[in-house]
Amino acid sequence: MHAIKYVFWLVWQIVLAANTVLVDTLKGNKGIDPIVVHYPLRLSKDWQITAFAVSITMTPGTMSIGLREDHTLLVHAVYGSDPQAVLEDLAHMEATMAPSVRSIAHNLEAAKIEQPAPVPERKETP
């Protein structure tokens, strides 16, 4: 039953994120501030980590790009102006997928944040 509830929740998150990306695309990418966060996983089973990584990649504006040996998932986020909010959103998704992780201590403040070069501004063509 929980898996079905999670799928419906995830589909709704995908719809919301797709809407945000669509609006920003039509307005000229004003909200884009890409970052890579090193998210400290609380999940321990391989299938859970895989499902979590796939959930992230399915959501427009985010992509799982790697898993480190220290149990850290690298996530690229298009909307990274508030890295702490990105980490909190990932923690919420992880806890929604696997409620058992809520009781596991989590130090998001210590997570590594990489801020890639800014997105080049579009030049008007004559």
Number of domains, the chain: 1
Residue 27 lies in a domain: yes
User: Which residue range(s) make up the domain with 17?
Assistant: 2-114
Residue 84 lies in a domain: yes
DSSP string, 15-66: HHHHHHHHHHHHHTSTT-B-EEEEEE----SHHHHHHHHHHHHHSTTEEEEE
Taking the whole predicted model, whether its pTM rises above 0.75 is answered as: yes
Q: What tokens appear for 126 in the block?
A: 């004559």
| Per-residue pLDDT tens digits of the chain, which is 126 residues long | 788 999 999 999 999 999 988 888 888 876 788 899 999 999 999 999 999 999 999 999 999 999 999 899 999 999 998 999 999 999 999 999 999 898 898 888 889 898 875 556 767 766
The answer to whether 64 touches 53, Cβ cutoff 8 Å, is yes
Residue 122 lies in a domain: no
Q: Which of 83, 79, 96, 67 is nearest to 5 (CA)?
A: 96
Residue 120 lies in a domain: no
Residue 124 lies in a domain: no
Provide the 8-state DSSP code for 79. B
